[in-house]
Amino acid sequence: MISFQRVSKRYAEGHDALREVSFDIAKDDLVFLTGHSGAGKSTLMRLIMLMDRATRGKVLVDGVDLATVGKRGIPGHRRNIGVVFQNHQLLFDRPVFDNVALPLVIGGYDYREVGRRVRAALDKVGLLSKERAMPLTLSGGEQQRVGIARAVVCRPRILLADEPTGNLDPELSAEIMRLFEDFNQVGVTVLIASHDLALISRLRHRILTLKEGRLVNGGVA
């Protein structure tokens, strides 16, 4: 589903954020991406989302070489990818429902379909009773679950999470990880960037490790 073939990324000022990175993630995989701050994790995710482009090498998503996707193809490409951030990036002046509905409203879905899909997504993360709540009245774990509901509301085939448990205690972190495992069980490819080595090693999924832009574990030669 996601394939990197000797991918390098050099930023304008000459810094190599990724160096010859190669790996394959299959459709039914849940994979952790780890490495110190500055190792290149966010850069790798930005390339998958086409927020940035590789300097050298090939990135393929669902068989499509991203070099062939032009500006106009980017929204269609991103519709297949749900993204979860550490700080949720929720709209705090809008209730839970509106936050989760946002990608559908942008996508031009009709009113009834928005309601149906938002409730299906909230149900999956266990927040159906909170649709009218304002985000600030929710706990950190609940806010993160709103972020996950928003990420899956368009039913993406790939879910990317950048430090999704960074602000949560171990118990809530485990709960959030179980949610990702649930989505993975129904066929969503999941890639999670995380520093939380204790949690990652307990979960026994595949681990890709970046060190100064090089993949030092979990890749292919």
Query: 186-202 burial, b for 16+ CB within 10 Å, e for fewer?
Result: eebbbbbbbbbeebbee
- Three-class SS state of 4: strand
- Is 15 or 202 the residue whose CB approaches ligand ADP more closely? 15
Q: Does 38 bind ligand ADP (CB under 6 A)?
A: yes
Judge contact between 164 and 194, C-beta under 8 A: yes
- Three-class SS state of 74: helix
CA distances from 103 to 52, 67, 98, 109, 202 (A): 21, 25, 10, 9, 33
Give least dist CB 32 to ligand ADP, A. Answer: 13
Q: Which of the residues 10 through 29 are near ligand ADP (CB under 6 A)?
A: 11, 15, 17
Q: Does 37 bind ligand ADP (CB under 6 A)?
A: yes
Give least dist CB 45 to ligand ADP, A. Answer: 8
Q: Which helix (H) or strand (E) holds 200?
A: helix 197-203
Give least dist CB 100 to ligand ADP, A. Answer: 12
Judge contact between 194 and 33, C-beta under 8 A: yes
The piece of 38-46, 68-76, 87-95, 195-203 that touches ligand ADP (CB under 6 A) is: 38-46
Q: Does 43 bind ligand ADP (CB under 6 A)?
A: yes
Give least dist CB 179 to ligand ADP, A. Answer: 11
Q: Which of the residues 50 through 109 are near ligand ADP (CB under 6 A)?
A: none
Give least dist CB 43 to ligand ADP, A. Answer: 3
Q: Does 190 bind ligand ADP (CB under 6 A)?
A: no
Q: Does 42 bind ligand ADP (CB under 6 A)?
A: yes
Q: How many residues does the chain have?
A: 221
Residues with Cβ within 8 Å of 173's Cβ and at least 6 positions away in sequence, in order, are 165, 196, 199
Which x/- pattern over 106-145 shows residues binding ligand ADP (rule: CB under 6 A)? Answer: --------------x-------------------------
**Cβ neighbours, 10 Å, residue 67:** 12
Structure tokens belonging to residue 27: 């459709």
Judge contact between 187 and 1, C-beta under 8 A: no
Judge contact between 43 and 16, C-beta under 8 A: no
Q: Which of the residues 156 through 185 are near ligand ADP (CB under 6 A)?
A: 156, 183
Q: Which residues bind ligand ADP (CB under 6 A)?
A: 11, 15, 17, 35, 37-43, 120, 152, 155-156, 183, 186-188
